């Protein structure tokens, strides 16, 4: 009996230590602290639940921490495997072509793209140029022209096409996709598809910094990775130079 009492006392002491280490909100909800006047136990519990759900506050842009060069590795079969680094090489030059149509969305995508380029080591002030075109259908010709100039290591094409009541959506979305693919294939410069093709404006906004993230930032990361990969391969004579150079 005395042993049982000792264990109970030890357990109570441990609980006390855990309770004292808990946050004030958690202790309040658990009934370990007195309620402020005018408060109710359910309200305190709701506050504690909200606190547990809330993520830690992070800076607007967390810096990318990675090796400056992604060293090739050997697969278990002996094959050489390489990836493009996600940290830009010094002086990496990027063109960003943006469609003005649906600019409520494309401006947010552009913001995400530029922020991500900075995070991945690109000097936006010195090495990034932004060109606006009327809409997504005009992205390919401008992107190809800038890629072929030899002045850029990658191009990011940003646009937003939202489905309407006619087949115009299919023509614009399909034309932009095939045109941008051709721009990269015809120049040897990565031309990254950062065009949203959505059924509703709500879906587009969700992907322009909303609950699904910012696809402009994802396109920027892809541009850096592809520029690095091709630069590494070309330095070793394993990829042809960009056609415009």
Q: Of 75, 83, 120, 168, which residue is the catalytic one? A: 168
Distance CA 154, CA 175 (A): 20
168 is catalytic: yes
How far, in Å, CA of 143 to CA of 179, rounded? 9
Query: Which phi and psi angles does 197 have, rounded to 5°?
Result: -125, 100
95, 101, 106, 164, 239 from 172: Cα distances, Å: 22, 12, 16, 11, 32
State residue 213 phi and psi, 5-degree precision: 100, -165
β-partners of residue 158 are: 98, 194
Question: Could you give the residue numbers annotated as active site?
Answer: 168
């Amino acid at each position: 009996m005395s042993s049982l009492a000792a264990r109970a006392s030890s357990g109570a002491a441990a609980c006390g230590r855990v309770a004292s280490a808990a946050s004030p909100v958690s202790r309040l909800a658990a009934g370990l602290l007195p309620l402020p006047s005018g408060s109710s136990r359910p309200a305190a519990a709701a506050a504690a639940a909200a606190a547990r759900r809330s993520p830690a506050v992070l800076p607007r842009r967390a810096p990318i921490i990675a090796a400056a060069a992604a060293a090739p590795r050997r697969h278990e079969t002996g094959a050489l495997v390489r990836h493009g680094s996600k940290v830009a090489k010094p002086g990496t030059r990027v063109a960003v072509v943006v469609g003005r149509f649906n600019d409520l969305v494309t401006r947010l995508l552009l913001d995400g793209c530029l922020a991500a380029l900075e995070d991945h080591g690109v000097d936006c002030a010195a090495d990034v140029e932004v060109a606006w075109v009327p809409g997504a259908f005009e992205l390919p010709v401008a992107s190809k022209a800038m890629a072929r100039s030899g002045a850029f290591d990658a191009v990011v094409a940003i646009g937003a096409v939202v489905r309407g009541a006619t087949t115009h959506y299919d023509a614009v979305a399909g034309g932009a996709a095939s045109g941008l693919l051709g721009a990269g294939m015809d120049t040897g410069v990565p031309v990254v598809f950062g065009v949203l093709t959505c059924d509703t404006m709500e879906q587009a906004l969700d992907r322009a910094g909303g609950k699904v993230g910012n696809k402009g930032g994802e396109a920027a990361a892809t541009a850096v990775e592809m520029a690095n990969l091709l630069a590494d391969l070309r330095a070793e004579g394993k990829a042809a130079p960009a056609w415009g150079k």
